[in-house]
Amino acid sequence: MEELAARIITAAGIDEDTARSAIGIILRFLAKDGPQDLVPQIIDALPGAEAIMAEGQQQAGGLFGSIAGMMGGSMGAMATLNELSNAGLDLAQVKTVAQEIIGFAREHAGEDVVNAAIARIPGLNQLV
């Protein structure tokens, strides 16, 4: 994930902690709300993805984690956007981060798998 974090730091103009947090937030969103036949292939292809998702999961506890848990563990794209905003990202940075993650995923998991997953996640194709 260091390579991806470095790309995001440069492209979005954010610090390493914010970049790592954003990666975790987006990967957790994909794991929860993405197509379950495709997302595991993407996560498995990204070196360090599981660790950064677990790291972010610990930070996402508290009120947000409690509310998400009461609602079945997932609150969708709007909650993810809110979580990214709370991590310090503006909308332009969110779009940049999403584009970098998707590009990185395409390089590692393959364009066909990633594009098929994006097509099945409402609203995500508007960011990338």
pLDDT in tens, 67-111: 444 444 445 788 888 999 999 999 999 999 999 999 999 999 999
Residue 36 three-state SS = coil
Gap between the Cα atoms of 77 and 30, Å rounded: 10
Query: Domain holding 12: CATH number?
Result: 1.10.490
Q: For position 121, what pLDDT does the model report?
A: 87
Residue 33 has pLDDT above 80, yes or no: yes
Residue 17 has pLDDT above 70, yes or no: yes
Closest CA to 64 of 50, 49, 33, 85: 85
In tens, the pLDDT along 38-75 reads 999 999 999 999 999 998 665 554 444 444 444 444 45
CA 31 centroid distance within chain: 9
Q: For position 69, what pLDDT does the model report?
A: 42
Q: Which residues form the domain of 24?
A: 2-126
Domain count, the chain: 1
